Amino acid sequence: MQRKPIVLVISSQVVSGQVGLKAIMPAFRALELQTVTLPTTLLTAHPAAFPKMAKPAGGALPAEQMLEMVDWLLEAGALDDCAAVLTGYLPTPDHIAAVAQIVSQLKARNADLIYACDPICGDNGKLYLPETIVAGLRQSLLPLADIATPNLFELEQLSGVSSLDDTQNCLQAARALGVAKLLITSAPAPEARIACLSVSPEEVLRCETARAPKAPHGMGDLFSGLYLALHLKGEPKALGVACATLAQIASDNLETTQLPHGPVRLAPAAIQEKINF
């Protein structure tokens, strides 16, 4: 019996809510992909989920422990069929160094392994992780990445290209990072619309959907997991399906800050428009 490929997912974990690993996992279940999950932090909730409360209890898990766990998993054979790695929230430079070591180790075992990096560091014009994290992502992880999924602000911070208010500037910034496939999850779009750009040496695709007035926490986590899952399944309209599915989820959950707890239902693909570059 042929064993199914496994995805190693490394990101944050919350007790209450649907962000980090809890937002990512439904995407892989929707595509029937097996996963091994490794938390970088354990918090009671997303910091914005309960605004009247103090900082959530919990904190970062030791980076050394992550390396010990991966060594154990490798020895046990639990990662023998690892086809991809997805990383999200990494709270310290030590966690970035640990991820670089893990990804390099797994790529040495499997040259076809895909590494997808969601370079979480900020949004809406504000960094919520130190600049040392931005530097670590740029210098240590993006050179290893086959796919990266920054939002527009993260792209600006990582590339050093400012004023990303038009598509050509975004393409310049994306190419400056040198990642084979880079997805910009909040590219320039008309008012009340939201766009995503997929930039690779072969082509540039643009997908545009309606922008919800507000969206639940964890949408970026879900997007990175869903796109990678669709990519691994060989879906030619991975961008369109991922964008349309998130637009539908945002539309259906306007009255809450939390993603739904039910299964992810894939929406019909939105239009993937090829653009000149």
CA atoms of 125 and 152, how far apart (whole Å): 9
CATH of the structural domain 6-274, one choice from 3.40.1190.20, 3.30.1360.20, 3.40.50.360, 3.65.10.10: 3.40.1190.20
Angle at 82 between CA 78 and CA 86, to 5 degrees: 115
pLDDT at 1: 47
Question: Which of these, 66, 139, 138, lies nearest to 102 by C-alpha position?
Answer: 66
Enclosing H/E stretch for 124: none
Least confident of 2-6, 20-24, 200-204: 2-6
Residues 6+ apart with CB under 8 A from 139: none
Q: What is the mean pLDDT of residues 184-193?
A: 91
Which pTM was predicted? 0.96
Domain positions in the chain are 6-274
**CA 276 – CA 254 distance, rounded (Å):** 35
Identify the band that residue 262 occupies on the pLDDT scale cut at 50, 70 and 90: confident
Per residue in 37-78, pLDDT tens? 999 999 999 988 888 999 999 999 999 999 999 999 999 999
User: Is residue 56 a contact partner of residue 65, using CB atoms and an 8 Å limit?
Assistant: no
End-to-end CA distance of the chain: 45
Predicted confidence (pLDDT) per residue in 156-180, tens digit = 999 998 888 888 899 999 999 999 9
CA distance 131 to 108: 30
Instruction: State percent of the chain over pLDDT 70.
Output: 99
Q: What is the pLDDT of residue 51?
A: 87
CA dist., res. 183 & res. 173, Å (int) = 12
